[in-house]
Chain A
Amino acid sequence: MRSILLTLLLSPLLFSYQQGDTLSQNIQDKLNIKEEKIYIIDFFASWCASCEKEIPYISKVHQQVDSSQVEIIGVDVDKKIENAEAFQKELKERGALTFRVVNDPENSIIKAFKPIGMPALFYIKDKKVIDAVFGAVDNIDEVIIADLKRLQK
């Protein structure tokens, strides 16, 4: 009885990726994760002001890191694909978006990760979730560089 209640209470957590979990083959295919390097998955949307603020800083990191060691993948969770494309086009035109983006209009990718807030960054190494950062963070570029130094050890 107690275990059933505990399972019910924790059920939202049981179906999302936790630290140490391996990504399913379906998610790996959708994100085109093939190599054994570190991937940073950035979930964002056109309506998320904090995400828009962070993207230029994440692009800055993308230009600084060795692409054979680290790859950044954006996941746009806008339900309307035209909103997603217009948003990304506008960012690219002003040089604020330099990493590749996967559109997720059905939200199938983000539902697998279930972040507690947006923007959300997930660090993937050897196809496993090794760390995550949720919410708006000041100087996110410096935070990512520090995290990468720690995670690459």
Chain B
Amino acid sequence: MIKGFLLMASVLLLSGCAVKDVQPWEKETLAKDTMKNGAGNALMTKFENHIYFSKEGSKGGGGVAGGGCGCN
């Protein structure tokens, strides 16, 4: 009983160490151009995307989807 209680208490306390999820309505800062690859500079964006997509082996997903809405 005590062991179970301690386990539950530690599980609940550990959740305090977790990173809080960013909710869809909290993505204002993430939607800014400065938060994207290249920070809004067209040339740097192209350059950084080239490296990122080469390393990932796929294209897309470099920014917050759907214009910063996280909707797609």
Contacts and interface: CB of A to CB of B under 8 A. Distances in A.
Interface string B29-61: 001100000000000000000000000000000
Interface stretch (A34-42, A56-64, A107-115, A139-147): A107-115
Contacts of B66: 48-50, 117-118, 135-136
A116 B4 CA distance: 34
A134 B25 CA distance: 12
Contacts of A78: 28
A50 B8 contact: no
A50 B65 CA distance: 9
B63 to A, nearest CB: 11
Interface residues of A, number: 27
A50 B67 contact: yes
A77 interface: yes
B6 to A, nearest CB: 13
Contacts of A50: 66-67, 69, 71
A47 B28 contact: yes
A115 B24 contact: yes
B17 to A, nearest CB: 15
Contacts of A120: 24
A25 B23 CA distance: 24
B10 to A, nearest CB: 13
B72 A45 contact: no
B31 A47 contact: yes
Max chain A Cβ within 10 angstroms of own Cβ: one of B24, B31, B68, B70: B24
Given A117-B71, A118-B71, A79 B28 contact: yes
Contacts of B24: 115-118, 120
25 contacts: A45-B25, A45-B28, A48-B31, A48-B67, A48-B69, A49-B31, A49-B67, A49-B68, A51-B69, A77-B25, A78-B28, A110-B25, A114-B23, A117-B24, A117-B66, A117-B72, A118-B25, A118-B69, A118-B70, A118-B71, A119-B71, A135-B72, A136-B66, A136-B67, A136-B69
Interface of A: 1, 4, 8, 43, 45, 47-53, 77-79, 107, 110, 114-120, 134-136
